[in-house]
Amino acid sequence: MRRLIVTEFMTLDGVVEAPGGEPTHRHSGWTIPFSSDDLRAFKLSEVLEAESLLLGRRTYEQFADAWPPREGEFADAMNGMAKHVATSRPRELVWNATALEPPVRSSVQSLKDGDGGPILVAGSASLVRSLLVWGLVDELRLLVYPVMIGGGLRIFPDDREKWTFELAQLTRFESDAVLHTYRLAGS
């Protein structure tokens, strides 16, 4: 059974939108002032650990535009791994990507039931909300930055259900960003 790991850059007010310079938010690039060597080393180890990426369509399109021309160990890992894309608008996918067959919930469960290494979900706020509701997330890695940007996309469902998580790890980086790693309680 493969683990499904959600990894998110997040502001103190819970926003995950436009952390790296995407044009969707007026405070785009809010992670950039908080970069540090230890944080970059963690993100590299995270992507090297993963066997594949699971992405929503919009995140896939942003990543597929941004990563192929980049070079270096992180870019090589991102460019080389398989990508699974949750999309209701299938088109020809590139960048080692395949569209998930509907329904997405069943396709993700099939991926998890297969053999192999961890499946990493980055960004993809709408997809992550659904994965949380469906109980498919094995690990939630929230990299919280010491900044608030007053609104934007969030990953947390607003359906008034209750989930209890256990803190598995807490790491503070030199930049004052803090990684909160959670697992669903009892799993």
Q: pLDDT (tens digit, 9 = 90+) per residue, 45-82? A: 999 999 999 999 999 999 999 999 999 999 999 999 99
Cβ neighbours around 8 below 10 Å, total: 21
Quick check: 113 pLDDT over 80? yes
Amino acid 21: pLDDT: 83
Nearest to 138, CA basis, from 123, 124, 128, 126: 128
Amino acid 24: pLDDT: 83
Surface-to-core class of residue 4, CB atoms within 10 Å of its CB (0-12 exposed, 13-18 middle, 19+ buried): buried
Amino acid 138: pLDDT: 95
Cβ neighbours around 176 below 10 Å, total: 12
Amino acid 60: pLDDT: 95
Quick check: 123 pLDDT over 70? yes
Nearest to 79, CA basis, from 90, 89, 94: 94
Q: State which amino acid sits at residue 89.
A: R
Q: What sign results for the dihedral spanned by CA atoms 81, 9, 65, 62? A: positive
Averaged confidence pLDDT in the chain: 95
Provide mean pLDDT across the span 104-119. 97
Is the pTM here over 0.85, yes or no?
yes
